[in-house]
Structure 1
Amino acid sequence: MTEVRHGDVEIAAIGAVLADRARCRILLALDDGRSLPASVLADEADVSRPTASSHLAKLVDAGLLLVEQHGRHRYYRLAGAPVGELLEMMTRLGPTRPVRSLREGNRAAQLRTARTCYDHLAGRLGVAVMGSMIERGHLSGGDGVYDPDRAVEDTPTGHGRDLDYEVTDPGWAFLTDLGVEVRPGKRPLVRYCVDWSEQRHHLGGRLGRDLLGVFLHRGWVRRRDANRSVAVTDAGTEAFARHFGLDRRAPAL
């Protein structure tokens, strides 16, 4: 049998797939971990249904998306956490688009206020939640601040690795009272990202994933229909003030 030899990784193949604004908009629409039908993704990318189908096929072929059949409908989702991490890195590296309409301005404000970073909370609210847990002694190992003068591996272009955050004993008691049951898995328990809009740390890893799950289950935040921003409900405003000490007048709320 002929031995198959492999050379260096061909990142240009991924780059070619990503070098299209509509395909990138489709990926960002799925960056909250949901599965969405082609019709919704076509509207999000502002392209026709046939054009969206062509883009989706290329994203699936590239291994960036998975497709599931439910009855007559196909639903698409990111192929896994590494794709979400890639998108987050790209959002930190890429330039911001100029706002040309009230609709775009509202959308940009929503994303900066509270959004998902694949399966955990980001934006001002995500940063505020992690900052509160650090301030109250529920997390140890860092101060939540990204300092480019001190950082070695903790850069604004990926997951932070300079600091090793850990849940303290009071932190576990707090999470238990909150109803957070961290599911086992291969991912790190606590991981952090340098938030692209706030340039501070927000909470990722299995803990970040399951904390967001509690927020959604209890109705403290709700997903918006077609983008990865989340809205804080009235119940959430009270809950974040009570459990995290977040001021009701704060921009995140």
Structure 2
Amino acid sequence: MGRTKDPRAAGLAALAALIADETRAACLLALLDGRAWTAGELARHAGVAPSTLSEHLGKLVAGGLLAQERQGRHRYVRLADARVATLVEDLAAQLPPAQGRPVRTLREASAGSAMARGRTCYDHLAGRLGITLTDALTTRGLLRQDTGFALTEAGLAWFAAAGIPLDGGGRRPLARACLDWTERRPHLAGVAGAALCRHALEAGWCERIGSERAVRVTGTGERELSALLGVPADALR
């Protein structure tokens, strides 16, 4: 007598098929910057006609991976929630380091280097910057990594003392490990990672550069992060 098929199998296969298209994958990766994009912007980014892109967006929205809204004649889309961002980033992290098209221009090389130094991963910091801050939190006993990511009592006190509120998480974990696709090591995500990133941008510790997700630490950020976490300024550049 045959085994009963797992009822989740069809849904998992459908989800995999939804992502397994280069144009749709390009859209999902672009939307990891946490912003809402217009359909026209995504079409130019993916290098396809607007009509083609519209069909792909319809599938992603219907599949629950994207949310959309209209303002006037513009249609905006964004990742449905943080869980989708986690799924996309985790899948991207499984790619071989050399995966991707070759860099053809100095501008592309500079942009790639900036992204590797520091970037946002949906709503938290990634790249060498994200790893550096995660290591600093761990070294100072504010974050544990031995049994999965977890803030310690000292870590909770540190966020409070730094004026970084850790609220509004809902079912989202307070701290979560996110595998960094350039560093191949986990950086801090979850409510704490998002709060740290948001505060860093709002307080002027970090600033966005270029049109991608790249960020860099400002002079103010170097001083504050050195004082709060003991990170040398040259490790933040």
- Please confirm whether the aligned pair reaches a TM-score higher than 0.5, indicating the same fold: yes
Contact 1:221 1:230 in 2 (8 A): yes
Corresponding residue for residue 160 of structure 2: 176
Corresponding residue for residue 104 of structure 1: 108
Runs of 4+ in 1 over 4 A off after TM superposition: none
Alignment length, in residue pairs? 228
SS at match of 2:120: strand
The 5 A counterparts of 1:73-88 are 73-88=74-89
Contact 1:44 1:226 in 2 (8 A): no
Corresponding residue for residue 131 of structure 1: 135
What code does the residue aligned with 2:54 have? Answer: S
Which ranges in structure 1 are unaligned for 5 or more consecutive residues?
A: 1-5, 143-162
Query: Over aligned residue pairs, what C-alpha RMSD do you find?
Result: 2.3
Contact 1:216 1:222 in 2 (8 A): yes
Contact 2:205 2:224 in 1 (8 A): yes
The 5 A counterparts of 1:90-239 are 90-95=91-96, 96-97=99-100, 98-142=102-146, 163-184=147-168, 185-224=170-209, 226-239=211-224
Corresponding residue for residue 21 of structure 1: 22
What code does the residue aligned with 2:46 have? Answer: A
SS at match of 1:9: helix
2:236 is aligned with 1:240 = no
The 5 A counterparts of 1:54-69 are 54-69=55-70
Q: Distance in 1 between matches of 2:207 and 2:157?
A: 26
Q: Which moved more, 1:27-36 or 1:46-55?
A: 46-55
Q: Deviations over 1:88-146 (max 9, x none)?
A: 1221122321323223222221221112222211111111111101111222353xxxx
Summarize the Cα distance change of 1:10–1:171 in structure 2 as closer, same or farther, 3 Å threshold: closer
The structural deviation recorded for 1:62 is 2.3
What code does the residue aligned with 1:231 have? Answer: R
Q: Which moved more, 1:166-175 or 1:60-69?
A: 166-175
2:40 is aligned with 1:39 = yes
Q: Distance in 1 between matches of 2:177 and 2:111?
A: 25
Summarize the Cα distance change of 1:221–1:7 in structure 2 as closer, same or farther, 3 Å threshold: closer
Identity of aligned residues (%): 41
Which ranges in structure 2 are unaligned for 5 or more consecutive residues?
A: 1-6
Summarize the Cα distance change of 1:104–1:225 in structure 2 as closer, same or farther, 3 Å threshold: closer
- Name whichever structure is richer in helix by fraction: 2
